[in-house]
């Protein structure tokens, strides 16, 4: 080994070998009262359903949606063990395009308050409840949320220090619970077949703080879509695949970071002799930077 050291030094491999052994105890800073963040977010979603009988297409429906927002958010209250229970936002941008048509939003430039009422969130724009497209916009984000502390992120993190390239299993219980709650009982899944794991794909320094890129993959086997008219059973293997990539501070000293999330699902099903093909995909990216 001693004879190899000069050669390794010449090739620049000694620093590489040293860094390869570095491990990181990942800590994500939680939000706190008084935090003020500049937030930008973009989202693109596509839904497509094909209805066919005896190989002939009877109907084809589709929906596409794009949105882009920018706002400053301030947390006014955050009790221990809960999500923020009171915060304000001022949007400088809110653009939504559905099936190629622009949707007008009236809350840009106005004061938006989000307050927990009985565990659920109430949204007001300049003191008044939003209506129409504005109400739909905020319902999408807050209608299914409560003010309980979000442990889902902690469940995704490794329980011990990891090196770049390390992979860890994630207990799918919380993920399944969150998914089913968000779906409002609209789907049936094979809980035993759920797979979830994380990877630290990169670690780097920024402004003296330790940052890292964490990739989380979740695969949920779907068995049926539940509806009042009867369950629509999927044929064969149908999976919802979700991937989240977080580029964040991992030493717990800053809330700066960004997250990209995407999911896709395509499956064939049947209902009363009618064949269905359902194809859904969504991608989003959110960037949050503390306001100075």
Residue 44 belongs to a domain = yes
Q: Give me the number of domains the chain comprises.
A: 1
Residue 14 DSSP label: H
**Within a 13 Å sphere around the CA of 25, how many CA atoms are in the beta-carbon half?**
3
Q: What is the token pair recorded at 137?
A: 């916009």
Say if 188 falls within a structural domain: yes
Residue 12 lies in a domain: no
* 185 Rama sector, left if φ>0, alpha if ψ -120 to 50, beta otherwise: left
Residue 20 located in a structural domain: no
Q: Let me know if residue 5 belongs to a domain.
A: no
CB-based contact 109:89 (threshold 8 Å) = no
Q: What is the mean pLDDT of the chain?
A: 86
| Residue 206 vs residue 224, higher pLDDT | 206
Query: Which pLDDT belongs to residue 247?
Result: 97
Q: 37 forms bridges with which residues in the sheet? A: 73, 290
Q: 138 in a domain, yes or no?
A: yes
pLDDT of residue 15: 47
Q: pLDDT band at residue 180, thresholds of 50, 70 and 90?
A: confident
Q: Is 45 within the bounds of a domain? A: yes
pTM over 0.85: no
Residue 19, pLDDT score: 52
Classify residue 121: in a domain, yes or no: yes
Q: What is the pLDDT of residue 147?
A: 66
Which range, 53-62, 67-76, 133-142, is most confident? 67-76
């Amino acid at each position: 080994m001693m004879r190899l050291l000069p050669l390794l030094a010449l090739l620049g491999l000694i620093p590489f070998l040293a860094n390869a052994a570095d491990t990181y105890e990942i800590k994500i800073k939680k939000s706190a009262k008084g935090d003020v963040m500049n937030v930008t977010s973009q989202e693109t979603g596509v839904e497509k359903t094909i209805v066919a009988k005896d190989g002939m297409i009877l109907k084809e429906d589709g929906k596409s949606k794009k949105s882009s927002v920018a706002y400053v958010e301030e947390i006014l209250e955050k009790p221990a063990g809960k999500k923020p229970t009171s915060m304000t936002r001022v949007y400088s941008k809110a653009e939504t395009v559905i099936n190629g048509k622009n949707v007008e939003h009236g809350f840009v430039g106005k004061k938006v308050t989000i307050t927990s009422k009985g565990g659920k969130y109430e949204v007001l724009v300049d003191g008044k409840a939003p209506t129409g497209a504005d109400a739909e916009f905020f319902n999408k984000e807050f209608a299914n949320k409560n003010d309980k502390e979000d442990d889902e992120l902690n469940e995704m993190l490794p329980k011990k220090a990891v090196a770049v390239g390390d992979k860890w299993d994630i207990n799918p219980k919380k993920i399944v619970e969150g998914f089913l709650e968000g779906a409002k009982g609209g789907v049936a899944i094979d809980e035993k077949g759920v797979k979830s794991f994380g990877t630290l794909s990169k670690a780097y320094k920024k402004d003296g703080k330790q940052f890292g890129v964490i990739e989380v993959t979740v695969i949920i086997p779907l068995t049926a879509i539940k509806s009042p008219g009867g369950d629509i059973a999927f044929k064969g293997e149908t999976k919802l695949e979700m991937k989240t990539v977080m580029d964040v501070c991992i030493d717990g000293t800053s809330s700066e970071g960004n997250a990209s999330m995407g999911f896709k699902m395509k499956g064939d099903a049947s209902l009363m002799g009618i064949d269905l093909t359902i194809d859904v995909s969504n991608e989003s990216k959110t960037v949050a930077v503390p306001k100075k």
